[in-house]
Amino acid sequence: MDEAVSATAGARVPRTERGRRTLRLILDAAAAEFGERGFHEAGISRITQRAGVALGTFYTYFDSKEAVFTALVRDMSMQVRDHVAPRLSGTADAIAAEGAGLEAFIGFARAHKEIYRIIDEAEFVDQASFRTHYQSTVDRIVTRLRRGAARGEVREDIGEVHGWAIVGMNVFLGLRYGVWNEDGAPEEIAGTVNAMLRDGLKP
Q: Which is closer to a copy of itself, CB of 23 or CB of 174?
A: 174
Collect contacts of 105-108 with beta carbons under 8 A, ≥24 apart: 105/80, 105/170, 105/174, 105/178, 106/173, 106/174, 106/177, 106/178, 106/186, 106/189, 106/190, 107/178, 107/186, 108/79, 108/80, 108/83, 108/84, 108/174, 108/178
Residue 196 is a binding residue for a copy of itself (CB under 8 A)? yes
Residue 167, interface with a copy of itself (CB under 8 A)?
yes
Q: CA 39, CA 51: separation in Å to the nearest integer?
A: 17
HSE, side-chain direction, 13 A CA sphere, residue 11: 28
Q: Does 59 bind a copy of itself (CB under 8 A)?
A: no
**Neighbouring residues of 100: CB distance < 8 A, sequence distance ≥ 6:** 87, 88, 91, 190
| Chosen residue from 46, 134, 136, 149 binding a copy of itself by CB under 8 A | 134
Choose the stretch contacting a copy of itself; rule: CB under 8 A; options: 10-18, 47-55, 64-72, 177-185: 177-185
Which CB, 10 or 163, lies closer to a copy of itself?
A: 163
Question: Applying CB under 8 A, does 170 fall inside the site for a copy of itself?
Answer: yes
Instruction: Give the dihedral sign, CA 188/103/120/35.
Output: positive
Of 168, 185, 186, 187, the one binding a copy of itself by CB under 8 A: 168
Binding residues for a copy of itself restricted to 18-47, rule: CB under 8 A: 38, 40
Residue of 90, 203, 88 whose CA lies nearest to 149 = 203
105 binds a copy of itself (CB under 8 A): no
Residues 109-128: x where in contact with a copy of itself by CB under 8 A, - otherwise, as a string: -------xx--xx-xx----
Among 43, 49, 63, 172, binds a copy of itself (CB under 8 A): 172
CB atoms within 10 A of CB 42: 19
Q: Which of 161, 182, 185, 203 binds a copy of itself (CB under 8 A)?
A: 161
The contact set with a copy of itself (CB under 8 A) reads 38, 40, 116-117, 120-121, 123-124, 131, 134, 159, 161-162, 164-173, 176-177, 180, 184, 189, 192-193, 195-202
